[in-house]
Amino acid sequence: MKNIFGNISELPLVSVYTCVYNMADTIKRACESVYKQTYPNIEHIIVNDGSKDNVLEFLSEYKKTAPYPVHIFNKSNGGKHTALNVAWQAANGQFMILLDADDELLPKCIEFLIKTYFSLSKKDKQKMWCIHGRYEDQLGNFVGDYYPENINFLKEKKKKKTARKIKGDKVGLQKSEVLKQYSFPTPELVTFVYESYIWSQINSHYSTYYTNEIVAVCHLENNNSITRAPINSQICANKAWFLREKIKNNFDSFKIILKYGIFFNLTDKNFRKKYPYFVSVKLSGKIKAILLYPISFILAKILSVKWKIVNK
């Protein structure tokens, strides 16, 4: 790690955090990318979410040899969202950055994001909770859509609306003091809570600074798509719960209620008993739910055949 910053003690500590589950074949690449960072004041928080492979063998050696603090936390398998809760509370840095176990940071990733943050005015720094960078795939292709060049000069409401339409994963330098105020819920019968559950809450109170700078690499499969697990009733339950929460928070458009109805009808009877279909607190939402239920039921039946989902 080349120190181009002078006195490390004067630089804010950045906590890179990684959640790992059976990723022994890729975690080495991710850790090596942390080692190669040009920004010198870092620590690496790694949460092992009950891995059953030999990932801990590598992590133990990595902790001994890394020239920066490496903190490893072991827990029983509970899903990435529960591992993120552990990582956020364990982080010591003023800033955090998420590194998935199958991705890698480019050498100047943290340096660029830190410099971008400190280039902002005092007023902007106070309202910002995150600085976004972008991914390329292993072939060097930009992942997703580009942000408009003027996005950071738009009025806040329009800026957020524009950003929501931009496809593709982003890399975020996040303020720890903000992130530590939040945690993922651990609902029964749900094994995964989407990260946007937290991001949307934070974004309703804070601002984000957007860049198109490529700062990380995500490794895609040969079919040029990120690896996806086969769709089953558990995945549908996770999605249904997430959409249910959105509806409870007044995001009750026809599109969201229709999607919710489809995934709800693809879950098993235990989920449907625990989380009844009707959830909207508004009369308009309840009417939409009644009108759309027959359509969502039929679509769910069609998709259950296509996806080979057997509900009981």
pLDDT at 176 over 70: yes
Sheet with 207-218, strands from edge to edge, namely: 70-75, 42-49, 14-20, 95-98, 170-175, 128-137, 207-218, 103-105
What's the chain's Rg over C-alpha atoms? 21
List the one residue out of 96, 82, 74, 112 whose CA is nearest residue 216: 112
pLDDT interval class at 8 (50, 70, 90): low
Quick one: which of 192, 62, 203, 193 has its CA closest to 132?
A: 203
Cα distance between residue 166 and residue 148, in whole Å: 9
The first and second tokens of residue 228, run together, are: 């996806």
Confidence band for 281, pLDDT divided at 50, 70 and 90 = confident
Domains of the chain with CATH codes: 11-218 (3.90.550.10), 233-306 (no CATH)
- DSSP for 64-114, written as a single string: HH-SS-EEEEEE----HHHHHHHHHHH--SSEEEE--TTEEE-TTHHHHHH
Average pLDDT over residues 189-218: 97
Q: Is the pLDDT of residue 113 over 60?
A: yes
Cβ–Cβ < 8 Å for 165, 130: no
Mean pLDDT over each residue of the chain, to the nearest integer: 93
Q: Is the pLDDT of residue 229 over 80?
A: no
Q: Is the pLDDT of residue 1 over 50?
A: no
Is residue 6 very low, low, confident or very high in pLDDT (cuts 50, 70, 90)?
low
Separation CA 219–CA 15 (nearest Å): 22
Q: How far is CA 169 from CA 58, 64, 100, 221, 269, in A?
A: 27, 32, 11, 16, 34
Q: Tell me: the pLDDT tens digits for 21-43?
A: 999 999 999 999 999 999 999 99
In this predicted structure, the answer to whether residue 107 has a pLDDT above a threshold of 60 is yes
- The residues, ordered by sequence, that sit 6+ positions from 200 with a Cβ below 8 Å of its Cβ are none
Mean of pLDDT values over 83-102: 98
DSSP alpha helix (H) spans, the chain: 27-35, 55-65, 80-90, 109-118, 122-127, 156-164, 176-179, 196-203, 233-248, 254-264, 269-274, 283-306
Query: How far is residue 10's CA from residue 2's CA, in Å, rounded to a whole number?
Result: 16
Q: What angle do CA 95, 119, 126 make, to 5 degrees?
A: 55
pLDDT(227) > 50: no
Confidence of residue 9 (pLDDT cuts 50, 70, 90): low
**What distance lies between CA 29 and its chain's CA centroid?**
20
Identity of residue 261: G
Name the pairing type of β-strands 170-175 and 103-105.
Answer: unpaired
Kindly give, in sequence order, each residue whose CB lies less than 8 Å from that of residue 103, ignoring residues fewer than 6 positions away.
30, 135, 216, 217, 218, 219
